[in-house]
Amino acid sequence: MGLRGEIFSTRAVVEGRTYFFNVKENRMGDLFLAIVESKPGEGESFDRRSIVVFREGMDGFLTSFRKALDAMDKASSAKAKRPRKAQADSEASAEAPKKPMEPKPGRRVLRASKAGAARPAPKTPETDAKPKSRRMSVRTSKPKSDDRF
């Protein structure tokens, strides 16, 4: 067994990102795959993200991974058959005259004042009305410490 329970390690460099595939063993003797993505951050630092898949869950992980690859292949073949969106948009915009952009009703536009500070646009009956939508709430949780590794 290698450093920190490492059994096998390999890496792949793709477009400036480095992916590490590490097979490790934890203190309890369970095998797991750690996939780490590393890419240059600001300055000399690196941004790292990782996922861990235990041996018991590997079959389900690989099944879902293959489905995702199949979906990507299907989407790329369908994309190759239709004209590119940028070309279609440029052809359509060449035919239609351009209109000045106007704010959508019910939205407030911030405008810069002479001092440089942003201030809300004056209220009008369209912008004063509240939208009839429900708000979503997001719950955050504290990360759980896990001493299994």
CATH of the domain at 77: 3.10.450.700
In a domain, 121, yes or no: no
In a domain, 122, yes or no: no
In a domain, 25, yes or no: yes
Separation of alpha carbons 80 and 43, rounded Å: 38
pLDDT of 86: 57
pLDDT of 67: 97
* Cβ-based neighbour number of residue 69 at 10 Å: 10
Q: How many domains does the chain divide into?
A: 1
> 3-class SS at 93?
helix
pLDDT of 12: 95
Range of the domain at 18: 3-82
CA 117 to chain centre: 32
In a domain, 99, yes or no: no
pLDDT of 79: 80
In a domain, 142, yes or no: no
Q: Which residues of the chain have pLDDT under 50?
A: 113
Could you tell me whether strands 110-112 and 118-120 are parallel, antiparallel, or unpaired per DSSP bridges?
A: antiparallel
In a domain, 63, yes or no: yes
In a domain, 41, yes or no: yes
